[in-house]
A and B are shown apart, each in its own frame.
Chain A
C-alpha cells in the first residue's frame, strides 16, 4: 500500500499533503459495511457504502487489485469486482479463499463469513474538503 503514495508527505497529525491536495487516512470500516458468504472455494464480500456520497470513493479506491493486495497470503486465486450503483455496493469474489470450502475446509471460517470485516480493515487516503 505504501507504494501507492508516491509524492505524498505525511504530516504529524496523520493527514497528508501531496499533489492532489490534503487527504486523511481512514479505515474502510468508517465508510462502509459488509456481508460475506461462500460459493465453493470462493468467498464473496458485498461492500456497501454507509452514505451514498461514499460510494464513488469505494469505486475509485477499492479496486480488485487493491483488494487482492489486501488479502495477499490469505487467498490463492484472483479477485473479481462487480458494481451495484443502485445499492451503493461493490461485490468482490475472492477465489481460493476457503481451503477448498464447505466440508473440505479445515479453517475456522470455512464459509467465509467474516471476510467481510477483514476487508473493512483496509486503509484508504481520502480527500479532505478545504
Chain B
C-alpha cells in the first residue's frame, strides 16, 4: 500500500489537543518543517456550556479566546507559507470569532490575503423547544431520561457536525476555517476530502481519514506525551514534537513529527492513542462514517514514523450526536495534609470528625467522597492493600461534596479549616484557603435525526 510515485501527499499537523494545550505547539508545527494544514481542536464536552455562559453576558464572546493571540502570532507565517487552518475555536459564536480574526488580519496588514471560512448550524439551543415539540425527545444516551425533565436548566445544545462543511469551506478557498461543534476527527478528515476529492460514500477512505484524525486529535498523546510504554526513555519531552499526518489519496497515511523535536512515534505509542477513549472498536461512529478500528494495520516505517493502512469503514448512520449541557447543582472539594507518624490514621480520624460535624449540622448532600491522596486516591483498595500504611510520610485528606443546595455546600467549605486546630494533629497544607463552591454543569448526550440539522458555510473576506 505504498503510495505511487508522483501522487500528492497532504501534511496535516496537530497544533492543539484541547483548549489549554501547549501554546508553543502550533508555532512549532508551522515553523519546524513543511506542512499544508494546521488542525486545532479546542472543544471538550463541557467547554460549550462555559462559552454559552460567556456569550450570554457579552454577545461578542463565546469562542476560544486563546485562538486570537495565536492567530496574531501565526497569520503572517501562514500566509507566507500557504498553510491552511482548521479549528473548532468558534465554540458557540464562530461568527464573532471570525470577525475578531479578520480584524487581527487587517491590523497585521493582511487585508486581501486571508479568506475565513465559518461553519455554523451546530447550535440547537434556540431551536430546542421546537425540536422537542416536534417529537425529538433528545433522550439521554446514558440514562434513558427524556430531555424535558431538565429543559429549564439547559445551558447549551450542540450537534456534532462532521468533515463535510469544513471541506466545503476549503473548496471555497478558505484559508482559515473556524467552526462551532465540529468533531475532532472531522477537522483532520476535511483537508483529505478536499485535497483528494474523496466522495461522500467512499467509506473506507473516510474511515481512514477518521482514524488519522483520532490519532492526532490529542496532540502529543501520539508522539510520546502521556505514553506509558518505555516512558522513561522517551527523549526530550521538553521539546516534544506534536504529530503530523502525511496522508495519501489511497487512504494510507504516515504519522511523523518534525525533525529535531523530542518525543517518540512508535507502533506501541500510537496504539495507546488508538485505544484512548475507545468504545466498541468495530463501530467508531462519526457523522462521516463508521470506522472499524479492528482493521487498522500499523508498521514502523522508520525512526519516529508509523505507517497506517488497511482501514475499513461502513456507511454513516442517519443520526448526529448532540452534546447538551445543563445546570446540575453545586460541589466543593477540601484538602488537608497529615504527616508521619500515623499519617493515614490521622487523616481517617479527621474524615470521621468532619462527617460527624456535617451530619450534626443536618446538611444534606447527594454525595460525599473521601480520598486519601498518597494511599488510595487513584487505585483505591488495589493500592491500599499493598502499602505499609503506617509508614507513609504524609497523606492528603481530600473530601468532596455535591448537592443541589448551595447553602449546604457553602457550609461544608467552612468546616475544613477548623480541623487544623480542633482535629487530629500534625496537619498542614491549608495555604490555598477555604475551598469555593462550584456550579456543576452536567453533560447530557443525545442523538438527533441528521436531516433536521443544517450546516451552514460562510466566507468572510479580510
Contact = CB atoms under 8 A, between A and B. Distances in A.
Interface stretch (A7-15, A17-25, A58-66, A85-93): A85-93
A16 interface: no
Contact of A118 (B273, B282, B379, B402): B379
Interface in A60-75: 70-71, 73-74
Chain B interface size band reads: 35 or more
Interface string A102-125: 111011110000101110010000
Contacts, number: 132
Contacts of A84: 275, 281, 293-294
A50 B229 contact: yes
B443 A40 contact: yes
A37 B281 contact: no
Interface in B243-298: 268, 271-282, 293-298
Given A84-B293, A108-B377, A48 B281 contact: no
A116 B273 CA distance: 13
A73 B376 CA distance: 12
Given A74-B381, A89-B271, A118-B380, A103 B371 contact: no
B101 interface: no
A77 B402 CA distance: 21
B46 interface: yes
Nearest to A88: B271
Interface in B352-383: 367-369, 371, 373, 377-383
B226 interface: yes
A44 B279 contact: yes
By Cβ-Cβ distance, the 9 closest A-B pairs, closest first, are: A46-B275, A106-B400, A37-B277, A106-B369, A35-B272, A33-B229, A108-B377, A118-B379, A74-B380
Interface of B: 45-46, 142, 226, 228-229, 268, 271-282, 293-298, 310, 328, 331, 333, 367-369, 371, 373, 377-383, 386, 398, 400-402, 440-443, 445
Given A33-B229, A74-B381, A84-B293, 13 more contacts: A35-B226, A83-B294, A84-B275, A86-B295, A87-B296, A91-B278, A102-B45, A103-B443, A104-B440, A108-B371, A118-B379, A121-B382, A121-B386
